[in-house]
Amino acid sequence: MEPFVVHKGKVAGLDRANVDTDQIIPKQFLKRIERTGFGRFLFYDWRYLPDGTPNPHFELNRPENEGATILVANENFGCGSSREHAPWALADYGFRAIIAPSFADIFYNNCLKNSLLPIKLPKEDVAYLLKQAERSDYELTISLEQQVVFDEEGFTSSFDIDPYRKQLLLKGWDEIDLTFVYEPYIIAYEKARS
Amino acid sequence: MVAPKTIIEKIWDEHVVYREDGKPDLLYIDLHLVHEVTSPQAFEGLRQKGRKVRRPDLTFATMDHNVPTVNRFVIEDEVAKNQMTALERNCREFGVPLADLNSPEQGIVHVIGPELGLTQPGKTIVCGDSHTSTHGAFGALAFGIGTSEVEHVLATQTLWQHRPKTMQVNVTGSLATGVSAKDVILAIIGKFGVDFGTGYVLEFTGDVIRRMSMEERMTICNMSIEAGARAGLIAPDDVTFAYLRGRKYAPKGEAFEQAVEKWKQLRTDEGAVYDRVVHIDGSEIAPTVTWGTTPAMSSPIDGTVPYPEQFATETEQKAVQLALEYMGLKPGMKMTDIAVQHVFIGSCTNSRMSDLREAAQIVKGKKVAPGVRALVVPGSQQVKKQAEEEGIAQIFIDAGFEWRDSGCSMCLGMNPDTVPAGEHCASTSNRNFEGRQGKGARTHLVSPAMAAAAAIYGHFVDVRTLYQEVVR
């Protein structure tokens, strides 16, 4: 996994609640057996018109959002299906972090496994960022080490993250390798139960 | 004295392999169910690192999401076919048992787990599918995981997990005739919202739940995820034990009796404290139909499509506005005036024998309305066979329904079964998200009886009135 330490990037806003993983990556793209290349299918049904051309009304197609690497959205982002194709698509498109007031549990976990940082911020901070994201030059810096999000105009907001997950992200460690360190405990557990 | 515990805490504590401050618990997984869509990248990960499947004996695979439900051996979609071939190859290479398309045990993963007796009280069960919560109906702790976690379980038979918060969802009173388990869970989500369960495992309790069959309990637990919950479960009782007795992978003979004694301990102790308790009166629940694009956007059948202004916050009003535009519905319209062009009876929520019987009771001796295409997709090949033997299948066929082979089918339309843009579908599935059943498809979630009635009348009907006619 690619480590996540500090990231500075352009911000795009998606002011919608309950964005589900069926929207993030529609079912017709789940048949591939690879982990890569899902970015071009991200938000497919919102992003493209029936004739295949980009939908100019969709938030990410607005010129000011081009090249954004941080997505700001509303409550319960990533609800629904457990498909990890959703974070794969967001990461492959170029996002490094998602900021929202709340996330669905499975999606949140899936992001952490892919070095895509899900950040929960208070609703009023998210509202402020959604407003700022309407500008084409708005950038945020995220420090995972410090657990803080800030801009160069005085906005700053701190966030919580599980210390174990934080460590994995900072180091970019493979979790399975790490779990093998605990194999003696797994063996002992299996023995005790058999 | 040992502190009183909820059933959730009991199962959790029983499965902790390793615990350390500042870390999630390392949790042992008793059963890992696998299907074709969320597993290929996980097996590929194992292959790249030269890893094995630690416990193929605790792993069971089937194919369900992609499978055609007519001419199932002729898979025209090459990409879908490739995914199924990959599962066959992976199961062979890693020694994982597989119920493939040739197997009489094939079916939707959440239907066959219980059917085969793989699902048992007290187990930790995972699958790369959010509706894994279904298995909680047996008093198991069952939750959906992503593909990276699938790989982690394949390699280690464990997961690092934070102890969940606990919530009691108490359903009291009794249900009116014509009100089913589907209406109960839709009403719960309608009342408390699509994310009230986030971070929690739900325990469903109360008289209404206790009186339910195992299949009804599966419908309830299945949709826990639509409330955002990590899992939902119901403490096992005699109904659970009777269901499991004699199932293929359930313990046999004396071992079964011993297992039952152990399973009986799986109940929330008197005095145990939940992090949150919610309550709903079952007597007040009506047959429910969704009008929007989340499972919480629903109305009793005798209600109307709401006005956006009825909602409290600006975010909600905007969401309702967008949903009504997508659904092509006008505020104030009666729910019974919504016409449907498609009816889908199936999915891991409602495709078991009791669901099909409930629908057949409405359909018997009647015809599907002109202009309506109606499908019944049994949850498994075993359900299909039994329904054919009982004459249930013939009732559907005589009425003009299409009778299909088992699979996920039109619930998510990964196979060729989809709803065209702009058309309305009465569906017994679990998600009415935009595009779920096909791009532009307009899904209304309902019970099997309500779906059957919509097929006959071409619009939604209050099944309570139909049952009254039957009684007269």
In the block, which residue shows the tokens 């982690």? B152
Q: How far apart are CA B406 and CA B118, in angstroms?
A: 19
> In chain A, whose CA is at the least distance from the CA of B84?
A31
Please say which residue of B214, B244, B276 terminates a domain.
Answer: B276
Q: Whole-structure pTM over 0.80, yes or no? A: yes
Of A26, A113, A189, nearest to B146 by CB-CB distance is A113
Q: How far apart are CA A156 and CA A119, in angstroms?
A: 13
Kindly state whether residues B242 and B375 are assigned to the same domain: no
Among the listed residues B169, B29, B104, the one whose alpha carbon sits nearest the alpha carbon of residue B382? B104
Does residue A1 sit within a domain?
no
Instruction: Say if CB B365 and CB B341 are below 8 A apart.
Output: no
Kindly state whether residues B176 and B308 are assigned to the same domain: no
Kindly state whether residues B98 and B160 are assigned to the same domain: yes
* Listed range (B60-74, B158-172, B246-260) with the worst mean pLDDT: B60-74
Record: contact B148-A175, CB cut-off 8 A: yes
Instruction: Say if CB B6 and CB B166 are below 8 A apart.
Output: yes
Does residue A133 sit within a domain?
yes
Domain CATH for A155: 3.20.19.10
Domain CATH for B104: 3.30.499.10
Q: What is the pLDDT of residue B2?
A: 81
Q: Which tokens go with B144?
A: 């959906």
Does residue B57 sit within a domain?
yes
Q: Which tokens go with B361?
A: 């009771």
The residues facing B200 across adjacent strands are B165
Record: contact A182-B18, CB cut-off 8 A: yes
Among the listed residues B38, B89, B43, the one whose alpha carbon sits nearest the alpha carbon of residue B66? B38
Please say which residue of B245, B276, B307 terminates a domain.
Answer: B276
Comparing B2 with A116, which gets the higher pLDDT?
A: A116
Q: How far apart are CA B367 and CA B369, in angstroms?
A: 6
Question: What residues of A are in contact with residue B439 (Cβ under 8 Å)?
Answer: 26, 45, 50
pLDDT above 60 for B471: no
Kindly state whether residues B197 and B310 are assigned to the same domain: no
Kindly state whether residues B304 and B187 are assigned to the same domain: no
Residue count (chain A): 194
Kindly state whether residues B233 and B149 are assigned to the same domain: yes
Question: What residues of B are in contact with residue A74 (Cβ under 8 Å)?
Answer: 315
In the block, which residue shows the tokens 């969940």? B164
Of A45, A74, A190, nearest to B434 by CB-CB distance is A45
Q: How far apart are CA B397 and CA A107, in angstroms?
A: 41
Q: What is the ipTM of this complex?
A: 0.96
Kindly state whether residues B200 and B330 are assigned to the same domain: no
Domain encompassing residue A88: 6-193
Q: Which tokens go with B457?
A: 């009348």
Please say which residue of B242, B276, B310 terminates a domain.
Answer: B276
Kindly state whether residues B242 and B369 are assigned to the same domain: no
Kindly state whether residues B248 and B120 are assigned to the same domain: yes
Residue range B420-469, pLDDT digits in tens? 999 999 999 999 999 999 999 999 999 999 999 999 999 999 999 998 76
Tell me what the mean pLDDT of segment A45-66 comes to.
95
Q: What is the pLDDT of residue B276?
A: 98
Q: Does B428 touch chain A (CB under 8 A)?
A: no
Q: How far apart are CA B420 and CA B342, in angstroms?
A: 9
Tell me what the mean pLDDT of segment B39-67 comes to.
97
* DSSP codes of every residue in B76-138: --HHHHHHHHHHHHHHHHHT--EE-TT-TT-B-HHHHHHHTT---TT-EEEESSGGGGGGGGG
Domain count, chain B: 2
Please report the residues numbered 238 through 267 in chain B whose beta carbons come closer than 8 angstroms to any beta carbon of chain A: none
Q: What is the pLDDT of residue B1?
A: 66
Kindly state whether residues B77 and B213 are assigned to the same domain: yes
Does residue B218 sit within a domain?
yes
Does residue B354 sit within a domain?
yes
> In chain A, whose CA is at the least distance from the CA of B322?
A16
Domain encompassing residue B38: 7-276
Domain count, chain A: 1
Backbone angles phi, psi at B404, to 5 degrees: -115, 175
Instruction: Say if CB B70 and CB B404 are below 8 A apart.
Output: yes
In the block, which residue shows the tokens 């018997």? B364
Among the listed residues B395, B400, B394, B392, the one whose alpha carbon sits nearest the alpha carbon of residue B368? B400
Instruction: Residue B343: count other Cβ atoms within 10 Å of its Cβ.
Output: 31
Kindly state whether residues B218 and B312 are assigned to the same domain: no
Q: Which tokens go with A152?
A: 């160069």
- DSSP class of residue B304 equals B
Instruction: Say if CB B388 and CB B357 are below 8 A apart.
Output: no
Kindly state whether residues B271 and B301 are assigned to the same domain: no
Mutate to test the interface with B, among A45, A164, A176 (most CBs of B within 10 A): A176
CA distance A33 to chain B (A): 5
Q: What is the pLDDT of residue A129?
A: 98
Residue range B328-365, pLDDT digits in tens? 999 999 999 999 999 999 999 999 999 999 999 999 99
Residue range A113-151, pLDDT digits in tens? 999 999 999 999 999 999 999 999 999 999 999 999 999
pLDDT above 80 for B286: yes
Q: Does B48 touch chain A (CB under 8 A)?
A: no
Residue range B236-285, pLDDT digits in tens? 999 999 999 999 999 999 999 999 999 999 999 999 999 999 999 999 99
Does residue B291 sit within a domain?
no
Residue range B204-224, pLDDT digits in tens? 999 999 999 999 999 999 999
Does residue B347 sit within a domain?
yes
